[in-house]
Copies of this chain bind each other. A is one copy, B any other.
Amino acid sequence: MKSKFPAPTPGRSGPRPGQSATLRMVAREAGVSASTVSRIINGTVKVSDGLKRSVEAAIAKFGFRPNAAARGLALGKTSTIGVVAQAIDSPFYGEGLRGIETGLRQRGYAPLIMSGNWRIEDEERCVQELIARGVDGIIVFAGRLSDAKLKGYAKSVPIVVTGRRLRAPRLLSMQIEDAKGSMLAVRHLLDLGHRQIAFITGSENHPDAIERLRGYTQALVEGGIDFNPNLVAVGDWHEEGGVRATLELLDSKSRFTALFCVNDQTAYGACLALYRKGLSVPHDVSVIGFDDLPSSTYRLPPLTSVRQSIGELGERSAQGILELIAGRRPRIAAPDVELMVRESTGRCPGS
């Protein structure tokens, strides 16, 4: 796009090789004004078939595509939605991004995705840059930006944020039922006769991790079991943290027959650690994850997990941001969580 060529000579016509065509070139070719071509393209006017056809011919001849920057400047919109993702290469969030893209494309929008890398400073930088790029709206997919910041941003651009409950103008939040999901998992374990249920959390102060821990505790209490802090270990949302935390748990004096993990990746790590120690899943220890990654169905053994339909959440986020942009006040909630029982959980040994 870098213009190394002089401006087109006024009298000249025909396509300039290597340069993209402009509205004026098309207009000259079709023998009308740029205004008319613009209106025909945007369908804001009715014209004779003949005229329409000759304009279309000119467009085709030049392979004309309206310049998005110019259009955006004139219209004050870019048809682009910024997305702040935790990680672009996460098997979990990836599905959500796909949902967002799908939901957006149907209405002529495209997502501009940036990775927050699980760091609050990065998330801020993303939002700033997205605003500078003039996106029409921003979807904050999870993350830990403060409510206050989010409300502030919502003053300059519509915002959808997932994993949080928050009320503000031009902002839609969709709370994921983390606590409920945890309760589903723990109840399932209780039903199988387990009484010593360990939990591996994610990064300690992450809202999702806090909610999931809360659900775990609550289900335990409902089941008449005291919460035992020695049965909780800290992971890092990834396999490696699952391995380390499981090893810690195993080394401590506290026994457990079931292990609930803050997400599937953590559970993968836990399974490997258990395997290394000669423990069999689910014979010796039952394991449950959270997220239900596509590959969890294909683990050995297939992993029992709490499913939150992240792809669907992505699509709803897309729908939400578009409604917000249209000036409406959407009433959209996150999809329900459900427990997918597979083969990594079984009856408590000796129960």
Residues of chain A having any CB pair with chain B under 8 Å: 1-3, 17-18, 20, 65-70, 72-73, 76-78, 80, 87-91, 94-95, 97-98, 101, 110-115, 128-129, 131-134, 136, 155-157, 239, 243, 265, 268-269, 271-272, 275, 294-295, 297-302, 311, 325
Nearest residue (CB) in B for A99 is B89
Whether A156 pairs with B20 at a CB distance below 8 angstroms is yes
Known contacts A73-B70, A111-B113, A298-B269; is A1 also within 8 Å of B133 by CB? no
Nearest residue (CB) in B for A89 is B94
Whether A155 pairs with B18 at a CB distance below 8 angstroms is yes
Nearest residue (CB) in B for A97 is B88
Q: Measured between C-beta atoms, what is the minimum distance from A269 to chain B in Å? A: 6
| Residues of chain B with a CB closer than 8 A to A110's CB | 112, 114, 129, 133
Copies of this subunit:
2
Extra inter-chain contacts (11) besides given A69-B69, A87-B98, CB under 8 Å: A3-B76, A68-B133, A69-B70, A89-B91, A89-B94, A89-B311, A110-B112, A110-B114, A111-B113, A239-B298, A268-B295
Nearest residue (CB) in B for A67 is B134
Partner of A128, one of B65, B91, B243, B302: B65
> What are the 3 closest A-B residue pairs judged by CB atoms, nearest first?
A89-B94, A69-B72, A65-B132
Partner of A95, one of B89, B131, B265: B89
Nearest residue (CB) in B for A274 is B300
Whether A131 pairs with B94 at a CB distance below 8 angstroms is no
| Residues of chain B with a CB closer than 8 A to A73's CB | 67, 69-70, 73
Whether B98 pairs with A115 at a CB distance below 8 angstroms is yes
Whether B295 pairs with A275 at a CB distance below 8 angstroms is no
| Residues of chain B with a CB closer than 8 A to A20's CB | 131, 156
Nearest residue (CB) in B for A105 is B114
Nearest residue (CB) in B for A83 is B113
CA distance A239 to B303 in the complex (A): 15
| Residues of chain B with a CB closer than 8 A to A156's CB | 18, 20
Nearest residue (CB) in B for A64 is B132
Nearest residue (CB) in B for A63 is B156
| Residues of chain B with a CB closer than 8 A to A17's CB | 155
CA distance A164 to B90 in the complex (A): 26
CA distance A155 to B15 in the complex (A): 14
| Residues of chain B with a CB closer than 8 A to A2's CB | 76-77, 325
**Most chain B CB atoms below 10 A, which of A132, A269, A300, A325:** A300
CA distance A17 to B90 in the complex (A): 38
| A–B complex contacts, Cβ < 8 Å, 14 sampled | A1-B136, A1-B157, A2-B76, A18-B156, A65-B131, A88-B98, A89-B95, A90-B94, A94-B94, A101-B114, A110-B114, A239-B297, A269-B298, A272-B298
